[in-house]
Amino acid sequence: MNPSADALRATFGGAIARAAESCGDTIVYVDRAALLAVMAWLRDTPGQQYDYLVDVTAVEYRDRERPLEVVYNLRSLARRTDLRVKVELDLRGDLAIDSVVPLWRGADWLEREVYDMFGVTFRGHPDLRRILMWETYAEGYPLRKDFPLRGRFSRAEQVRQALNANPEAHYSMEELSIAEAHDELPPDMRERLRRGERDKIPYSE
Amino acid sequence: MKRVLETKAVSGQSPNYLLAKAQDLIDWAVNSSRANSLWPMPFGTACCAIEFMATAASRYDFARFGMERQAFSPRQADVLICAGRLPFKLAPVIRRIYDQMPQPKWVISMGACASTGGIFDNYAMVQGIDTIVPVDVYVPGCPPRPEGLLYGILLLHKKIKGESLFDRAPRRDEQPLDERGLRLPPEQIDEISEPFGNSIHQFRSG
């Protein structure tokens, strides 16, 4: 068991629901409300120094009674240790959790992916949009257990929505390499970039 | 001219015989030029693109069949080769590339995924690019070997050489999307996208 688990218990007490060990990895279950404080403590406390957020992901189990888990894999580059932090979210409640982007800038796209695939909302995220599916994707969250493999709409409807999507709008201006040359773009392209696809798909019922 | 018309080969034929012969000659010249200088627009999205690169490289070398210049710009391309699976997110991209290509243009759908969706019978994948753009030649395989792609290209040559400039029905018109933004009627897209093979055992739920 990673000693960080006991240190967390000593510091945060009831906010640490339990700790477990699996295949040599330590897993700490943290209360949703305390997440940001726990993560900041893990990052900044001397002796912990988990300075690298390896991954953010989520797990939903087939058992509908089990909560959805948001998983944070942490690594301390200096101390060469790993720690896994999990937050359990009740599927019947609202799937909302604090964003850790203020602590690790790299959590930005990772949290967007969890939002896109599982529908978990990250409060305080600077730019919470879908990242894999396009922004007007309306069929739900593909990695949830109640999502049918082939999607919710008919194939014709899926093709129609895909063809009506605007491929230029998948990126924010900062992500576009042409952002600096924006003023020199032809006016129709500038207009398409400005419009984005956040409003409605044309011809939708 | 009069003597030619009175020869055995010509007399008794339809009055348009000479005209037809001339049309054949023009078709032959135009189609040979088109077929033997196809400039491909590679649209490689997955492992099929690796086989496509092998086909283009020196061992298989499709430059032997007049495809010397790979046009990485749709404006200077004749044949769009979709090599690999096409996610819905790329559907408007391939459609725009197709629309940007000048006529005459052809499409080769390379591999099982581009042709039918292949193993990806799921929420994210187009079930056959013929629901997006008209396809001339389907090359089966997962991925097809370079010989397979070359065979598909030769089939396309054959198809091009069978075309005529003088058809009543103009086959080389642009086929824009309809007012719904679809290429085919919705029922037809659903029918094309029907699961088959192993995936019939996976039922649509919800």
The average pLDDT across B51-63 equals 91
Rounded mean pLDDT of chain A? Answer: 84
Predicted complex: ipTM over 0.90: no
How does residue A99 score in pLDDT terms, banded at 50, 70 and 90?
Answer: very high
Bridge partner residues of A82 (DSSP) = A75
The average pLDDT across A141-145 equals 91
Q: Which among B117, B74, B77, B71 is positioned nearest to B93, based on CA atoms? A: B74
Q: Which among B106, B115, B107 is positioned nearest to B143, based on CA atoms? A: B115
Chain B residues in contact with A158 by the CB 8 A cut-off are: 88, 123
The pLDDT assigned to A142 comes to: 92
Tokens of B127: 């079930």
Q: How far apart are the first and last CA of chain B?
A: 76
Residue B192: closest C-alpha in chain A: A155
Chain B residues in contact with A151 by the CB 8 A cut-off are: 122-124
The average pLDDT across A167-188 equals 68
Give the one of B126, B179, B204 whose C-beta lies nearest to A150's C-beta: B204
In this model, does residue A118 exceed pLDDT 90?
Answer: yes
The DSSP 8-state label assigned to residue B131 in this structure reads G
The pLDDT assigned to A3 comes to: 86
Bridge partner residues of A86 (DSSP) = A29, A71
The average pLDDT across B19-24 equals 84
Chain A residues in contact with B92 by the CB 8 A cut-off are: 162-167
Q: What is the pTM of this model?
A: 0.80
How does residue B29 score in pLDDT terms, banded at 50, 70 and 90?
Answer: very high
Backbone angles phi, psi at A39, to 5 degrees: -65, -40
Does residue A49 come out as left (phi exceeding 0), alpha (psi in the -120 to 50 range) or beta? left
A148 to B193: CB separation less than 8 angstroms, yes or no: no
Rounded mean pLDDT of chain B? Answer: 85
Enumerate domains of chain A plus CATH numbers: 3-132 (3.30.460.80)
SS3 content of chain A, % helix, strand, coil (to 5): 35, 20, 45
The pLDDT assigned to A114 comes to: 94
Q: What is the spatial distance between Cα B84 and Cα A46, in angstroms, rounded to a whole number?
A: 50
Task: Cite the DSSP H helix spans in chain A.
Answer: 3-12, 35-44, 107-118, 155-164, 187-195
User: Three-state DSSP class for A106?
Assistant: coil
How do residues B148-194 score in pLDDT, each as one tens digit?
999 999 999 999 888 888 776 666 777 888 888 888 888 888 888 88
Q: Which among B53, B54, B99, B50 is positioned nearest to B74, based on CA atoms? A: B99
Helix (H) or strand (E) holding B161: helix B146-161
How do residues B126-156 score in pLDDT, each as one tens digit?
998 999 999 999 999 889 999 999 999 999 9
Q: Domain spans of chain B?
A: 38-165+180-194
Q: What is the spatial distance between Cα B189 and Cα B184, in angstroms, rounded to a whole number?
A: 6
The pLDDT assigned to A137 comes to: 85
A148 to B91: CB separation less than 8 angstroms, yes or no: no
Residue A202 vs residue B72, higher pLDDT:
B72
Q: Mind telling me how many Å the CA of B186 is from chain A's nearest CA?
A: 5
CATH 3.40.50.12280 fits B38-165+180-194, yes or no: yes
The DSSP 8-state label assigned to residue B8 in this structure reads T
In this model, does residue A86 exceed pLDDT 90?
Answer: yes
How do residues B106-121 score in pLDDT, each as one tens digit?
999 999 999 988 888 8
The pLDDT assigned to B133 comes to: 92
The mean-pLDDT minimum among A8-17, B2-11, B38-47 falls in B2-11
How does residue A15 score in pLDDT terms, banded at 50, 70 and 90?
Answer: confident
In this model, does residue A56 exceed pLDDT 90?
Answer: yes
In this model, does residue A184 exceed pLDDT 80?
Answer: no
How does residue A203 score in pLDDT terms, banded at 50, 70 and 90?
Answer: very low
Share of chain B above pLDDT 90, in %: 35
The average pLDDT across A137-160 equals 88
How does residue B206 score in pLDDT terms, banded at 50, 70 and 90?
Answer: very low
